[in-house]
Amino acid sequence: MSDLNNIEDKMKKSISVFEEQLSEIRAGRANPSVLNKINISYYGVPTPINQVAGISVPEARMIIIQPWDVSILKEIEKAILASDIGINPNNDGKVIRLNFPELTEERRKELAKEVRKIAEDARVAVRSIRREGMDMVKDLNKKSEITEDELRTDEESIQKLTDKYVAEIDKLLENKEKEIMNI
């Protein structure tokens, strides 16, 4: 069935969104993707930090942000303080340094809980895509566009795809939890 590819594409997109969300959760090591959702007002336009500055990771627990226009240092500093990453920026007039502290046991547990919630949201998204697919093939069967055998085959294929992507979410979740807890 041609629409199975469409269903699989939607499930793959759910997985990639999940992976992106996981990369934005800091697990003790400095990762520039924690800055992805932070925008600054650059000439009145909300702009991601990585479009107005060079971002580097010289050490495992430090990110350096070097804006191409030094006049926006204060704007970047304000945006980081207003965000939820929980890091205080150090502005020396040329660059901003973000030093990532060691995670406490309590903070690790909070992050693990947050990751599990994001994983559950991703599973719900995949199951929702499965439900849409199942409804679609049942509808085709009602309209006599596919036979009962084709209906069963398509339902089994959709379920196999769902199982595959839910297992992938579980694997990604397990890896991220290990990363958070064993730093």
Q: pLDDT tens for residues 58-80?
A: 887 788 989 888 888 888 888 88
Do 94 and 116 reside in the same domain of the chain? Answer: no
**Residue 99 Rama label (left phi>0; alpha psi -120 to 50; beta):** beta
Do 40 and 16 reside in the same domain of the chain? Answer: no
Do 145 and 174 reside in the same domain of the chain? Answer: yes
- For residue 46 the two structure tokens come to 């909300």
Domain termination residue (choose one: 99, 116, 138): 99
Helix 3-23 and helix 105-142, axial crossing angle in degrees, nearest 10: 170
Provide CB contacts within 8 A for 148, sequence distance 6+.
141
Single pTM value for the model: 0.69
Q: Which of 10-14, 86-90, 143-147 has the lowest mean pLDDT?
A: 86-90
Do 176 and 109 reside in the same domain of the chain? Answer: yes
Do 92 and 121 reside in the same domain of the chain? Answer: no
**Inter-residue contact 32 to 63 (CB < 8 Å):** yes
Number of domains the chain contains: 2
CATH number, residue 136: 1.10.132.20
Domain termination residue (choose one: 81, 99, 117): 99
Provide CB contacts within 8 A for 181, sequence distance 6+.
108, 112
- For residue 23 the two structure tokens come to 């990369």
pLDDT over 60 (residue 183): no
Domain termination residue (choose one: 74, 99, 124): 99
Print the domain residue range for 77.
32-99
Do 16 and 66 reside in the same domain of the chain? Answer: no
Burial 136-152 (b: 16+ CB within 10 A, else e): bbeebbeeeebeeeebe
Do 95 and 109 reside in the same domain of the chain? Answer: no
CATH number, residue 76: 3.30.1360.40
Q: pLDDT tens for residues 94-148?
A: 888 988 777 778 878 888 888 999 999 999 999 999 999 999 999 998 988 888 9
